[in-house]
Amino acid sequence: MKKTKNEKVNICMVGAGYVGLVSGACLAELGHRVVCVDNDPAKIKLLEGGVMPIYEDDLERVVKKNVKAGRLHFANSVKDGMHHGGHRAEAVFIAVGTPPREDGSADLSAIEKVSAEVAKNMTDYTIIVEKSTVPVATCDWIDKTVKRYNKHHIPFDVASNPEFLREGTAVWDFLEPDRVVVGVSSKQAEAVMRRVYKPMKGAPIVVTSVKSAELIKHASNSFLSTKISFINAVANVCEKTGANVEDVARGMGLDKRIGASFLKAGIGFGGFCFPKDLEAFYWLSSQVGYDFALLKTVKDINEGQKLWLVKKVEEELWNLEGKTVALLGLAFKPETDDMRFAPVIDIVRELLKRGAKVRGFDPISQENAKKTIKGIYFAKDEYDCVKGADCVCLVTEWKQFGKLDQKKLLALVAHPTMVDGRNLYDPARMRELGWTYKSVGRP
């Protein structure tokens, strides 16, 4: 009888954050045996107790289901993760953080540390898969690092497998991606990566060189950032000319060459990916001798756009000293608790600088916001937030903010002025209700 080859892969996923935990849980959902490793013992303890350390829709269900099925495990060290329960990991994914340094470059020290640990604990052919977002040539550095610590000359490959999931829809994005990008330098590595993604029926697998795969991620995120800054710049022109940015975006987006997504004007992009990836791509281009000036402009437009909201509040209230500004929403986008590089951080800083009293509320990211933002009152709910406000600002378009009792809000504010940074409400309706209402690029 012909022996059937084991299609399942033993995987060690290092870094159990937004990317690592979601990817690990979803790879287990695809049938693989996965051990998620993190050097933050508190995170692993929570996971072992069935508590999610991050807020992400559907994650808890997928994690619990796969833990119960014996496919998903947790460990505190790379060593334990690579040999957990007597199972050797054939693929070790690296999904640790790559935070920005002062000069815009990415801090890759966690990647180096993990690579050394992996090298010391390999006992047979291992593929080391770089999943964090990193500059081109990082895999070369991983390769050199592994060689340095690989005392027993165990065969290995380094592959690049950038992740495109979005916080808020991460589980869905991982399981139903537009494409999977895999950068490899050997047939053996390609075969393992194809086995990893084989159960994911429907998604095209783009196999490239390692360097191309690394670049695809930076180029994709920078292009999406460019689209956002482009429509925000268009919104500014709309405001000066009386055109409506939503109509302009609809008219543009129906052209298939342009596409409708990422053409929503607002107060700019934030989060852990776009700002740092844009910055890192600009830095990398400069390092290799190319001045990618477009990326610098995209960043400048975004920095200006974050302060659009403060400018509008000033236009309505004149001096902000002693005035109360209420911020509805603090997260950089809905459906996430992530506060990293959220535009509201700059907005609060500028409002406080001008002497305003700031009240804020976010349904999910409030606890994380308290660690990041100081000097404001964190409200119990939306209605508590707007109490006595001279101006209410919509910062994050959480669904529940679309269903607020506007009459109740109006009864609680000191003055009925609203600046909508996400174009959540209908301008005519808001004015009918009695608000002095301003939004982005709409007359």
Ligand X SMILES: NC(=O)c1ccc[n+]([C@@H]2O[C@H](COP(=O)([O-])OP(=O)(O)OC[C@H]3O[C@@H](n4cnc5c(N)ncnc54)[C@H](O)[C@@H]3O)[C@@H](O)[C@H]2O)c1
Q: Which is nearer to ligand X, 20 or 421 (CB)?
A: 20
Minimum CB separation from ligand X for residue 95, in Å?
5
> Which tokens sit at 310?
């403060």
Query: Among residues 12, 27, 36, 38, which is the contact residue for ligand X, using CB under 6 A?
Result: 38
377 DSSP β-pair partners: 359
Q: Does 177 bind ligand X (CB under 6 A)?
A: no
What letters, b where the CB count within 10 A reaches 16 and e where it falls short, cover 63-87? beebbeeebbbbbbebebbbbbeee
Distance between CA atoms of 237 and 226, rounded to whole angstroms? 17
Query: Among residues 44, 273, 325, 394, which is the contact residue for ligand X, using CB under 6 A?
Result: 273
- Asked if 420 contacts 394 with a C-beta cutoff of 8 angstroms, the reply is yes
Q: Does 160 bind ligand X (CB under 6 A)?
A: no
- Asked if 117 contacts 78 with a C-beta cutoff of 8 angstroms, the reply is yes
Minimum CB separation from ligand X for residue 42, in Å?
9
Among candidate residues 137, 69, 129, 71, the one with its CA nearest the CA of residue 95: 129
Q: Does 128 bind ligand X (CB under 6 A)?
A: no
36 is catalytic: no
Query: Among residues 18, 332, 361, 398, which is the contact residue for ligand X, using CB under 6 A?
Result: 18
Distance between CA atoms of 332 and 337, rounded to whole angstroms? 9
Q: How many CA atoms lie within 13 A of 79 on its CB side?
A: 1
The helix (H) or strand (E) run that includes residue 361 is: strand 357-361
What letters, b where the CB count within 10 A reaches 16 and e where it falls short, cover 389-417? bbbbbbbbbbeebeebebeebeebbebbb
Q: Does 20 bind ligand X (CB under 6 A)?
A: yes
> Which tokens sit at 177?
């991606």
Q: Does 167 bind ligand X (CB under 6 A)?
A: yes
Residues from 206 through 225 that contact ligand X (CB under 6 A): none
Among candidate residues 93, 88, 91, 90, the one with its CA nearest the CA of residue 111: 93
Hunting for tokens 């994380």 — which residue is that?
368
Q: Does 114 bind ligand X (CB under 6 A)?
A: yes
How many C-beta atoms surround the C-beta of residue 335 within 10 A?
18
Q: Which is nearer to ligand X, 133 or 366 (CB)?
A: 133
Minimum CB separation from ligand X for residue 334, in Å?
14
> Which tokens sit at 161?
């497998």
Question: Cα angle vertex 219, ends 164, 209, to 5°?
Answer: 80
Q: Does 132 bind ligand X (CB under 6 A)?
A: yes
Which residue minimizes CB distance to ligand X?
17
Tell me the window of 35-43, 222-230, 293-301, 399-407 that interacts with ligand X (CB under 6 A): 35-43
Residues from 40 through 79 that contact ligand X (CB under 6 A): 40, 43
Among candidate residues 12, 273, 391, 393, the one labeled active-site is 273
Q: Does 37 bind ligand X (CB under 6 A)?
A: yes
Among candidate residues 27, 22, 16, the one with its CA nearest the CA of residue 94: 16
How many C-beta atoms surround the C-beta of residue 309 within 10 A?
30
Minimum CB separation from ligand X for residue 215, in Å?
15
Q: Does 235 bind ligand X (CB under 6 A)?
A: no
Residues from 76 through 105 that contact ligand X (CB under 6 A): 95-98
Q: Which is nearer to ligand X, 36 or 413 (CB)?
A: 36
- Asked if 11 contacts 33 with a C-beta cutoff of 8 angstroms, the reply is yes
Q: Does 13 bind ligand X (CB under 6 A)?
A: no
Q: Does 272 bind ligand X (CB under 6 A)?
A: yes
Distance between CA atoms of 339 and 355, rounded to whole angstroms? 23
Q: Which is nearer to ligand X, 135 or 421 (CB)?
A: 135
Query: Among residues 165, 231, 284, 347, which is the contact residue for ligand X, using CB under 6 A?
Result: 165
Tell me the window of 16-24, 174-182, 200-208, 391-399 that interacts with ligand X (CB under 6 A): 16-24
Q: Does 359 bind ligand X (CB under 6 A)?
A: no
Minimum CB separation from ligand X for residue 17, in Å?
2
Q: Does 119 bind ligand X (CB under 6 A)?
A: no
Q: How many residues bind ligand X (CB under 6 A)?
A: 26
Among candidate residues 178, 262, 270, 278, the one with its CA nearest the CA of residue 222: 278
Minimum CB separation from ligand X for residue 23, in Å?
9
- What are the DSSP E strand ranges found in 97-225? 126-130, 156-160, 180-183, 205-208
Q: Does 376 bind ligand X (CB under 6 A)?
A: no
Q: Does 416 bind ligand X (CB under 6 A)?
A: no
Tell me the window of 12-20, 184-192, 314-322, 374-382 that interacts with ligand X (CB under 6 A): 12-20
Query: Among residues 46, 52, 67, 110, which is the contact residue for ligand X, using CB under 6 A?
Result: 110
By the criterion CB under 6 A, which residues form the site for ligand X? 14-20, 37-40, 43, 95-98, 110, 113-114, 132-133, 163, 165, 167, 272-273
Residues annotated as part of the active site: 273
